[in-house]
Chain A
Amino acid sequence: MTTVPQTSLSLRRPERLALNAGLVIFVALYAAIAFLQPNYLELGLFMNFLRRAAPLVILACGQLYVILTGGFDLSMGAVATLVVLAASILINGDPDTTWAVIGALYAMGIAVGLVNGLVVTFLKVPSIITTLGTMLLVNGLALAWSGGAARGDLPDNFRNLGRLVWRDVPVIGTLPLAAVVLAGFVALVWFGLNGTVYGKRALAVGDNPRAAELAGTPVAATRILAFVVSAVSAVTAGILIGGFSGVSVNAGEGLELQAIAACVIGGAQLLGGRGSIWSAVFGALSLFALFTLLNLLGLPQALRDSIQGLILIAAVGASTWRIRRRT
């Protein structure tokens, strides 16, 4: 009773901290980039940075949905690879079919998300195992379908989604289409979490599924929807990746782990119950800024993975330490 005022102060802090952690790290890293390459301060280059970061940010937003509900989605990268390969095979050089194919890609993604969600909720297989399974499954199917090598090319109208940059836009100068897609997608997922009751349900399910169920929450539906959103974001990211990197059999490799790392860096708590869409957005931007910085510093590509590993451990360690400190 009398302990209330004392705890409440220290409690509110981590929440604000979690919201800002990603933003603070991002600003610091981007400042370091700008120090090495002052022209990164130009709006044009910043827009270009956003364009290249867009797939990771989108993936992180989808991953966040699953993390909030207490799970992981390891199948995102495989879905992105599938999207790139399937697009080139299905479009097969005919630009008229692009939009129909994009619809088909989303259908495939939603199917994968549904499978993940149904297996996790009804067969009670832990999500990390379920999505590891679908990751292998989807990757294998994609490779088998494409014959193990990149086939065909993507038409310009598909690639523009990731590649097109409008020049001479009033006020901001250049505007990549990918940045518009990014903004639209973030607005949508933000609305899903903050503009509807879904977000709070997801947090409650991630925090204590049993209590949520007994309070009447549709736990299964909440979880399944999270996997579907995650898969949809993987398709979206895959389309952008196909746009600016072209067709490759390892287009999506490792992206799922980057997305998880991004959410954690931004302050989302693994196993659910804490985090916001800004954790995903700024966490992903931070991670991408870090990659850019390492490039500028001339570090070999391989070290990227090692550093990402370190950051992931540090971020989770820091968040548990923060939680432990206040109890």
Chain B
Amino acid sequence: MTAVPSLSMTGISKAFPGVRALDGVDFECLPGEVHAICGENGAGKSTLMKILGGSYRPDAGTIHLAGKTVQFTHPRQAAEAGIATIHQELSLLPHRTVADNIFMGREIARHGILDKAAMRERAAALLDRIGAQIDPQALVSSLSIALQQLVEIAKALLLDARILVMDEPTAALDERDSRTLLNLVDGLRGEGVSIVYISHRMPEVTAIADRITILKDGQKIWTRPRDAAPISEIVRAMVGRDLKDFYPSPPASAPGEVLVAITGGTNSGLQDITFDVRAGEIVGVAGLEDSGKGALAQALVGDVPFTGGTVALRGRSIDLRTPRQATAAGIGYLPGDRKREGLALRQSVRDNALLTLRSMTGIFTRPQRGALASAVIDERLRAMDVRAANFGQEIGTLSGGNQQKAIIVRWLAQASDILVFVEPTRGIDIAAKAAIYDTMRRFADAGRGIVVISSDMPELIGIADRVLVMHQGRLSGAVPRGASEEDIMHLALGLAEARHEESGA
């Protein structure tokens, strides 16, 4: 490859008050290359991409596109220069059609009147090009996250982007959709598009990237071709330690009594769910995106309750009609979408950690009494190693890992028996991930139980004592600790339903 890089950034530096976010970083991407950037949260990946996308201006350094120096003062200039960014958080209008969204701001008009037919056709062609079977007339809100992501990509292609930045594109996708997306990335590479790929998922990075660049604390550690960068090397460069310490060791003793038993749990999204969680156990739940694993979490915490079947807690039958009932029964929920479902972002770290305690106590309880006292909760937050300058600061300013830890503190303070985690480490950097896994293990080892629902298979295999697999709203089987991704995939695709029918219980 002797081609002129379609993108080359040299000596990029950027400082924010008190932080040196980027320090002389060089980065380039050739036409038809997938170049992955890896690094912990706060390593500078987002800042670098925001500079590329025109949202920030660098303090020093230059950007060349196909050999020409450019300077962006507005994101629109970057877009016009052929740089498209697909963010982790999608920017589609949910109540408009797919075609409307693709052409947002760039509508085709004839004599000042929208040419809907032409837009539909172009949209259909673009969607076809990326192999997405989506009706351009469908409302975006009716699509799954995975399909919405494809719409975003179609939107980027409309602009004929030469450089596509993908910021954790698979974070919200399950295994199958991730593979589709990776195939798509592969196809775009074949068309000569330069792809900057940011992801926390190592297997994905090594599968798709031609080159890999590691950022740490605002500096580039190295750039290597994929073959010279095994996962262990990448992780060591990112965090400065080895992968093997990553997941906690399995428990020494066998699981104890049954904490919660679900028998024949049924609702509109679930059929005949039967399983139990024992004391000391971490039960994983795997499945494709529409498998009902999300519905299972919502049923367990009373958000979208079971309409049939029974739930027994320590042998006593209980109702889980509302989250409040589930909370009172000792079940705590750590949602996958922390910003929308887990946190009151404008309240302090302390207030968020105290939310459940304050909600479950009598309304006339004095705010500083007993476990509600600031000193007590601060101690708990420190024990969980929640890093904040001050626990009175708004939780929205903390990193994802620290936010997740604060939510864990919330349920620990409530002395919950069962924690239901959904995507426990989505968008969380590697160091905080390890700490969260460790906390989960210790929680279970103290004689309590965890149900962890995740799309991240290595995570499930690493942390769970057994993994239940769901397919089309049913449990299609269970695999013990030490099973492979292939075993789980097999069940998740519904290929082994008959063989594993009994093992769900």
Give me the interface of A with B, judged by CB distance under 8 Å: 1-8, 11-12, 194-201, 203-204, 207-208, 210-218, 269, 273-274
Contact A2-B359, Cβ < 8 Å, known A195-B366, A215-B323, A273-B347: no
- Of all chain A residues, the one with the shortest Cβ separation from B410 is A215
Q: How far is the CA of A155 from the CA of B295 in the complex (A)?
A: 63
- With an 8 A cutoff between CB atoms, is B93 at the interface? no
Report B-chain residues with C-beta under 8 Å of the C-beta of A197: 358-359, 361, 363, 365, 367, 372
Over the window 239-277 of chain B, the binary record of Cβ atoms lying under 8 Å from chain A Cβ atoms (1 yes, 0 no) is 000000000000000000000000000000000000000
Among candidates A196, A207, A214, A274, residue contacting B363 with C-beta atoms closer than 8 Å = A196
- With an 8 A cutoff between CB atoms, is B287 at the interface? no
Pairwise interchain contact B366-A196, C-beta atoms closer than 8 A: yes
Pairwise interchain contact A1-B367, C-beta atoms closer than 8 A: no
Report A-chain residues with C-beta under 8 Å of the C-beta of B367: 194-197, 199-200
Report B-chain residues with C-beta under 8 Å of the C-beta of A194: 367
Pairwise interchain contact B363-A198, C-beta atoms closer than 8 A: yes
Pairwise interchain contact B359-A217, C-beta atoms closer than 8 A: yes
Q: How far is the CA of A198 from the CA of B390 in the complex (A)?
A: 24
Over the window 287-306 of chain B, the binary record of Cβ atoms lying under 8 Å from chain A Cβ atoms (1 yes, 0 no) is 00000000000000101000
Among candidates A198, A204, A269, residue contacting B344 with C-beta atoms closer than 8 Å = A204
Contact A214-B301, Cβ < 8 Å, known A3-B19, A208-B344, A273-B347: yes
Q: How far is the CA of A214 from the CA of B363 in the complex (A)?
A: 18
Report A-chain residues with C-beta under 8 Å of the C-beta of B170: none
Q: How far is the CA of A200 from the CA of B389 in the complex (A)?
A: 22
Pairwise interchain contact A6-B19, C-beta atoms closer than 8 A: yes
Q: What are 10 residue pairs bridging A and B, where the CB atoms are less than 8 Å apart in the complex? A: A8-B388, A11-B394, A12-B393, A196-B367, A197-B367, A203-B344, A214-B303, A215-B410, A216-B355, A273-B344
Q: How far is the CA of A196 from the CA of B359 in the complex (A)?
A: 11
Pairwise interchain contact A8-B397, C-beta atoms closer than 8 A: yes
- Of all chain B residues, the one with the shortest Cβ separation from A194 is B367
Pairwise interchain contact A11-B399, C-beta atoms closer than 8 A: no
Q: How far is the CA of A204 from the CA of B217 in the complex (A)?
A: 34
Among candidates B340, B352, B360, B397, residue contacting A4 with C-beta atoms closer than 8 Å = B397
Report B-chain residues with C-beta under 8 Å of the C-beta of A1: 41-42, 387, 399
- With an 8 A cutoff between CB atoms, is B64 at the interface? no
Report A-chain residues with C-beta under 8 Å of the C-beta of B340: 208, 210-211
Pairwise interchain contact B333-A207, C-beta atoms closer than 8 A: no
Contact A211-B346, Cβ < 8 Å, known A1-B399, A216-B356: no
Q: How far is the CA of A74 from the CA of B486 in the complex (A)?
A: 60
A182 to chain B, nearest CB (A): 24
Given contacts A212-B359, A213-B323, list 14 more A-B pairs with CB under 8 A.
Answer: A1-B42, A1-B387, A1-B399, A8-B388, A8-B389, A194-B367, A196-B363, A196-B366, A201-B359, A207-B344, A207-B345, A211-B342, A213-B324, A214-B323
A222 to chain B, nearest CB (A): 9
Q: How far is the CA of A6 from the CA of B399 in the complex (A)?
A: 14
